[in-house]
A and B are shown apart, each in its own frame.
Chain A
């Protein structure tokens, strides 16, 4: 099993954190994992992306050439990465910030993650809404592992923040289970 994920958005949207989160879930399930961020000057307020590779065999290049999943947080990211999508690729769009009309190769999943996060009065958890959607749709990682890792990562920030993250995650999962019932 190999799952290559590209995540892209803008600085502050939690792109890198979502990548680390999925990487840690992968590690917990016993896979080999690599996480490669964009780094340096470009990360300050600008473009943000990372590559996450999860595999049961050795991972050679951490630079992903053929993504199985592309997650885009905004229009600019979709415009940049849509070209990498193949027939077998799942493209997950934050529909709050990505227009409806963009055609991409592969399977398109749209979820209004930013709006759902705002409804929780926690704009920062849009990435966790997406995480829930990803886990539900791709069905590679166990939900329970994902929840355990979330608690671990929040650590001392548990409490209200943990509750909002759990709600965001569940929101993302339920949205997919409802809207994409026939596809999962």
Chain B
């Protein structure tokens, strides 16, 4: 009988707690990719992460490294202070679109503008997931949400914010890339981008952010397959994937 061989195992940086996210939600995949990369870079013991307010507030149940919570929108500020106190540690924050692009807009922009040497993972699922699917600054034009029942009307709510394009001109910002998780090739690309953002911090390059277009089947009222299809056809039409800025 052939000897058993490990071809896949749970990353060390994940706890034994199973993900509790909805079916087809992008958070589970994003959490796992981050844990894998931290293992690959052999830095679990020097990671300090900041969890957002939103669905991913429970990230600390799943990650087995140091994590603090932060008030809604304030994660990059908390991460900034941790990194300044411990410049030898690896500090990242993980934020949704309501957190990062709405209530935390000022925090995001000033942290980026100061060129803080931290990594930001920005999960864009075009709605407020945790609170039940309200319109976010990133909700698409005409997207139906619980607070835009007739579809997002730009006359009332303005246009969806492209955060990476907004941050791109800031001189403190070194690396911005938008990725999606809709199929295996795009997951491979997403992992590569997140790893690059993390390595940037380790090599003191400076502020890096990866935006992950992430499915929210429950609030989008779509099954996971259709949710991914919607990302491929509609969401990434408005929010194009790829490198937005790279001066590393």
Direct chain A–B contact by Cβ atoms under 8 Å: no
